[in-house]
């Protein structure tokens, strides 16, 4: 006789799927550079470009900080770009100064001809939200602080204002750095 296997026993079992666990969100790492921190804090409000038609200038803008010194604070260099002081206002703020500065005789010399601007010239700031245009009201040239400078003029000029204002700052003249050129502009109406 041929051996035979017993018929298979069928058992009914219910398959229960294991629960699907949602992935645990992990926090995004904070940026470690100033530009990344500014982008995280201000997003599309950041100034990306400056346009000054009277100077045929279109230049990128980068957030910059400062380093404390014994006598004062020294702003970080924007190198070949225009620097936006991160402690200053942004376009669209109801009050305060937007402070932009750049070199006049090193790197790209982006602000070399700033002193050539005149009352009535315009400056346009581009952000991720659009553009804001400012009309220049005054161009001043002052000796640098600590070298016979009119400290009262600097104090009055750099006193935060209640109205929104744009300040453009660079060294002057283009062949040295004995003075500062300061351009004051207000939002165009």
User: According to the model, what pLDDT value does residue 119 have?
Assistant: 98
**Burial level of 103, CB count in 10 A (0-12/13-18/19+)?**
buried
Within a 10 A sphere around the Cβ of 168, how many other Cβ atoms?
Answer: 24
Helix H or strand E segment including 58: strand 57-64
Enumerate residue ranges in the chain where pLDDT < 50.
Answer: none
Residue written as tokens 């018929």?
7
Q: What is the DSSP secondary-structure string of 110-123?
A: TTTTGGG--TT-EE
Can you count the helices (H) and strands (E) in the chain? 2, 10
Alpha-carbon 58 to chain mean position = 16
Question: What would the pLDDT profile of 115-164 be if each residue is shown by its tens digit?
Answer: 999 999 999 999 999 999 999 999 999 887 665 556 666 666 767 677 89
**Structural domains in the chain?**
34-187 (2.40.260.10)
User: According to the model, what pLDDT value does residue 147 have?
Assistant: 52
User: According to the model, what pLDDT value does residue 134 have?
Assistant: 98
Backbone dihedral angles phi then psi of residue 12, each to the nearest 5 degrees: -95, 125
User: According to the model, what pLDDT value does residue 122 have?
Assistant: 98
Sign of the CA dihedral with 136 first, then 141, 147, and 153 last: negative
Helix H or strand E segment including 158: helix 151-158
Backbone dihedral angles phi then psi of residue 151, each to the nearest 5 degrees: -65, -30
Within a 10 A sphere around the Cβ of 71, how many other Cβ atoms?
Answer: 8
Q: Are strands 179-187 and 66-68 parallel, antiparallel or unpaired?
A: unpaired
Contact between residue 41 and residue 34 where contact means Cβ atoms under 8 Å apart:
no
């Amino acid at each position: 006789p041929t051996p035979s296997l017993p018929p298979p026993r069928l058992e009914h079992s219910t398959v229960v799927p294991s629960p699907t666990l949602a992935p645990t969100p992990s926090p995004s790492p904070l940026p470690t550079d100033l530009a990344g921190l500014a982008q995280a804090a201000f997003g599309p409000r950041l100034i990306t470009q400056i346009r000054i038609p009277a100077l045929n200038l279109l230049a990128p803008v980068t957030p910059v900080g400062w380093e404390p010194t014994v006598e004062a604070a020294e702003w970080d260099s924007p190198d070949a770009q225009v620097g936006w002081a991160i402690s200053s206002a942004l376009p669209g703020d109801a009050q305060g100064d937007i402070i932009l500065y750049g070199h006049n005789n090193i790197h790209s010399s982006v602000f070399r001809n700033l002193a050539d601007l005149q009352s009535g010239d315009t400056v346009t700031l581009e952000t991720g939200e659009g553009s804001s245009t400012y009309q220049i009201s005054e161009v001043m040239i002052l000796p640098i602080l600590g070298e016979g400078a009119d400290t009262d003029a600097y104090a009055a000029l750099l006193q935060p204002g209640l109205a929104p204002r744009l300040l453009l700052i660079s060294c002057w003249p283009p062949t040295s750095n004995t003075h500062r050129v300061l351009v004051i502009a207000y939002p165009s109406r």
